[in-house]
Every structure is written in structure tokens, then in C-alpha cells.
Amino acid sequence: MNRILLSMGALSLLGAAGGAQAEYPERPIRLIIPSAAGGSPDVVTRILALELVKQMGQQIVIDNRPGASYTIGTDMIVRANPDGYTIGYANVVSLAINKSLLPKAQQPYDPDKDLVSLGQFLSTYNMLAVTNALPVKSVRELIDYARQNPGKLTNASGGNGTTGHLGGELFKIMTGTQIVHVPYKGSPQGISDLIGGQVQLMFDNLTSISPHVRSGKVRGIGVSSAKRSPIFPDIPTIAEAGVPGYETNAWGGLVAPVGTPKAIVTRLNSEVNKALRSTALKDRYAAIEAEPVGGTPEEFSAFARKETAKWADVVKKSGAKLD
């Protein structure tokens, strides 16, 4: 009888422990960013992560895994244990552009089948900036210079398949210019060479290039949005400055490995949307011209599918290739 009572007591304790384990999160969460530290994806994700830590009371460990057009880090997210303790950043590159730009052999997963959306959290756009050593001060002057010097200008980007890469390819096809694409492992490395004059121009997210434009280290001559930037009102859009119809934007969100419990997906989506409503995040995003988005996981997935078709068309029309 005593042994039976002891067993029942032990089961009660196990049940209590099981109930405690159901509380999520009970340990730090790993957040994989498939790009370099200091670049736009890293900056905006860290701002979000700070708010999530405040709300959830648990540490979030940022793990930057750049390389191979976001495929290295994204593959790590796909292969992680789907328990909610490994999530990742995904964006226009990893969820949309790579589908048409990369051969299947170079993308060892299907983002539509192997990842589950947690929610979109931002949208931004690019600045076209040139090195101060280049004798051009406008988009029109850049086009004229490029036409007079075919193949002599170099366009840095944060990597193959980024909006900096394809934005540059679209610019070339729309202006009839020959500019050499130079992919870097991340935006910070490209910006460094732009400042040093090793490359002549760059289309990069406003979130990462804007501090260098403000400081005068590089010259901003156009933005890729449909309207002028509120923080750079004197810099025209690329469309109004000489390339009618030109427009590109960048966006990002959080994802998890497929199989992550629905309850955890719902919880994380709720926490992301809550963070996006915080004054602290809104202020920090406004300062770098990043727009908080939010929404459901389903809305993020639908948006990514829509963007896939859009960028496939850009890849086809521009003839963009991996460099």
C-alpha cells in the first residue's frame, strides 16, 4: 500500500512538473539572423528583440549566420528543433527573391514548406548612394557618367539576391547602363568600401546607409520609394530624379521551423504585434526610416507569395545573375 501511495505521489509531482514545463518560454530563445552583424536586418531585428525580452522576461540570443544569399542561416533555422527555442529572421531575399534567382541545388529547403511564419514586422526601402570621390551629385548625372564609362562603375551590395543587388540590376535595365555588381558578405563591408572609394555606388537599406549619408561619408542621391523620405526630404526619389517608374522596397519578419507548436506560434505572433505597438520601438524605427508592419502569420505568408511573383518578374526582366 505504501509503495502504491508513493507511486501516486510521484506521479502527482511529475504532473506538477509537466505543468511547469508547459510555460513558454522557460529558457533563452535563439534568434538566427542570416546576415552580417551591423547590417539592416541585424539592426531592425535587435530593436525588436529588445522589446520581446522586456515583454517575455526571457533572454533572446542573437546568432548572425551570414553567407550564400541568406541560405546558410536559413538552412540552420529549417533544421533546428521545432520547439520554439530557435526562431529566425526571414525577408524578401530568403522568402521571395531566392526562389527565382538561386538554382534549386543552392537552396536545400523549400521556404514555403519548411518554415512557418510568425509575423512580418517591418518594411523599408533603399538609398542610392555614391562615393564622394565620384564626380556626380544626382541620379541624372550618374546615368550620364555610367553611359560615358560603360563597365567602369561598380555597384556594391550586401550580397547576391538582396534588394541592393536586384535594385541595381533593375536600375541598369531601366537606364541602359553597364555597371558591375560586386556582392559582399553583408552591407557593412560594402559600405566600408563605398566610403573608401573602392566601389562607386550602392543601393542599400536606409536603416544601414543613412548614418553615413548624414555624416557626409557618402553622398545620397536618390531613394527607391514612391515618395521622398521624411528624414531626407531634400533627396529625391529615383523615379522623380530620372528613372520614371523605379521603385523597390525591403521587408522582413520572423519564422520558425515547420512543426513548431501552434500555441507557440500564436504566442510569438502576439508578442511581436505587441512590441510593434510600443512607443520605444516606433521611435527607434522612425529614426532609421523603418515602418512597423505587424499582422497574422497567414498574412505574412500570403504577402511573401505575392512578393515572390513580383521579384521573379524583376529577375527575368533584368537578367540578374549570381556574381
Question: What is the per-residue pLDDT across 146-161, written as a single tens digit (0 to 9) for each?
Answer: 999 999 999 999 998 9
pLDDT given at position 323: 76
pTM: 0.86
What is the pLDDT averaged over residues 1-5? 37
| Average per-residue pLDDT for the chain | 92
What is the pLDDT averaged over residues 269-275? 98
Q: What would the DSSP string read from start to end of 65-119? A: ---TTTHHHHHHHHHS-SSSSEEEEEEHIIIIIHHHHS-GGG--S-HHHHEEEEE
pLDDT given at position 319: 83
- For a pLDDT cut of 90, what percent of the chain falls above it? 84
pLDDT over 60 (residue 283): yes
Say which residue the cell 538552412 belongs to.
Answer: 75
The residues that bridge with 153 in the sheet, in sequence order, are: 179
The residues that bridge with 182 in the sheet, in sequence order, are: 156
pLDDT given at position 22: 59
The residues, any chain, with a CB within 8 Å of residue 104's CB and separated by 6 or more, are none
Burial 56-79 (b: 16+ CB within 10 A, else e): beeebeeebbbebbbbebbbbbbe
Contact 322, 113 (CB under 8 A): no
What is the pLDDT averaged over residues 78-96? 97
What is residue 180's three-state secondary structure? strand
Say which residue the cell 512590441 belongs to.
Answer: 275
pLDDT over 80 (residue 56): yes
pLDDT over 50 (residue 322): yes
What is the bridge-based pairing of β-strands 218-223 and 126-131?
Answer: antiparallel
pLDDT over 90 (residue 193): yes
Q: What is the pLDDT of residues 17-32, one digit of tens each?
A: 444 345 899 999 999 9
Burial 200-232 (b: 16+ CB within 10 A, else e): bbbbbbbbbbbebbeeebbbbbbbbbeeebeeb
Burial 33-48 (b: 16+ CB within 10 A, else e): bbbbebbbbbbbbbbb
Confidence category of residue 215, pLDDT binned at 50, 70, 90: very high
pLDDT given at position 275: 98
- Cα 85 to the center of its chain, rounded Å: 21
Q: What sign for the dihedral angle of Cα 293, 296, 298, 299? A: negative
Helix (H) or strand (E) holding 310: helix 297-318
Confidence category of residue 14, pLDDT binned at 50, 70, 90: very low
Cis peptide before 297 (omega within 30 of 0): no
Rounded CA separation 82/116 (Å): 10
Confidence category of residue 185, pLDDT binned at 50, 70, 90: confident
Q: Which cell numbers in the block locate residue 90?
A: 526571414
Q: What sign for the dihedral angle of Cα 148, 223, 165, 41? A: positive
What is the pLDDT averaged over residues 34-39? 92
Q: What would the DSSP string read from start to end of 237-248? A: BTTTTT-TT---
What is the pLDDT averaged over residues 1-20? 39
pLDDT over 50 (residue 245): yes
What is the pLDDT averaged over residues 233-245? 97
pLDDT over 70 (residue 10): no
What are the chain's domains? Answer: 28-123+249-318 (3.40.190.150), 126-223 (3.40.190.10)
